[in-house]
Amino acid sequence: MTVCRLITPADAAALAALVRANREFLAPWEPLREADYFTEAGQLADIARALQRHETGNALPCVILDEGGAVVGRITLNGIVRGAFQSCSVGYWLSAAVGRRGLATAALRDIKATAFGELGLHRIQAETLPNNVPSQRVLARNGFVRIGFAPRYLKIAGRWQDCILYQVISDAAADPGDSPNIGPALTASGADPQL
């Protein structure tokens, strides 16, 4: 079953309800948001910006659907770069009410297939805060491997925070001379290498 699809303006009401209901749950993992972000009009504006990036080929913004087809989160391929890079970054969030059902794992699997299939990309990068173990498990289940540690990488919850970097490379794009994915590696002083 496909669990993600391209976002549309018709998703604004459902997304507004979700971001309001999950405001505290998502706050530790997201940038600070203005009050209008949590309104239907704010979500409509966010969707319009996302679809504009999609039209230029810079992003693939999708919603995550539950078993009944209801919108329960978002997943986006961001910063799609062509040329010699053929890569992007992925970000996602899921409502707390539907956690631990495999929906984030399935959505990442779907968008990864699109990235490496239809879009013909070579690599997807993901970043997590060191304490975001559930997201790290979703990445691992989809073949992402840890490639590094970036101090003060993203401004999350109002402050610059360290991130663990992950990647997955398309098997179809492998050349005989390519080096394999490198597993747990670069760790900043004090970081737990088991994350």
pLDDT in tens, 39-72: 999 999 999 999 999 999 999 999 999 999 999 9
Q: Is residue 149 part of a domain?
A: yes
Q: Is residue 142 part of a domain?
A: yes
User: Tokens 């230029």 map to which residue?
Assistant: 56
Q: Is residue 180 part of a domain?
A: no
Q: Is residue 82 part of a domain?
A: yes
**Beta-carbon neighbour count of residue 117 at 10 Å?**
11
Q: What letter would DSSP give residue 99?
A: T
**Domain of 96, in residue numbers:** 4-173
CA distances from 34 to 8, 46, 79, 170 (A): 22, 12, 23, 37
- For residue 171, the model assigns a pLDDT of 86
pLDDT in tens, 92-132: 999 999 999 999 999 999 999 999 999 999 999 999 999 99
Q: Is residue 187 part of a domain?
A: no
- For residue 2, the model assigns a pLDDT of 73
The CATH number linked to 11 is 3.40.630.30
Question: What average pLDDT score do residues 136-156 get?
Answer: 97
Cα torsion through 99, 117, 166, 132, rounded to 10? -10
Q: Is residue 157 part of a domain?
A: yes
Question: What average pLDDT score do residues 140-162 get?
Answer: 97
Q: Which two tokens stand for residue 113?
A: 């297939």
Q: Is residue 64 part of a domain?
A: yes
pTM of the model: 0.86
pLDDT at residue 142 is higher than 80: yes
What is the tally of structural domains in the chain?
Answer: 1
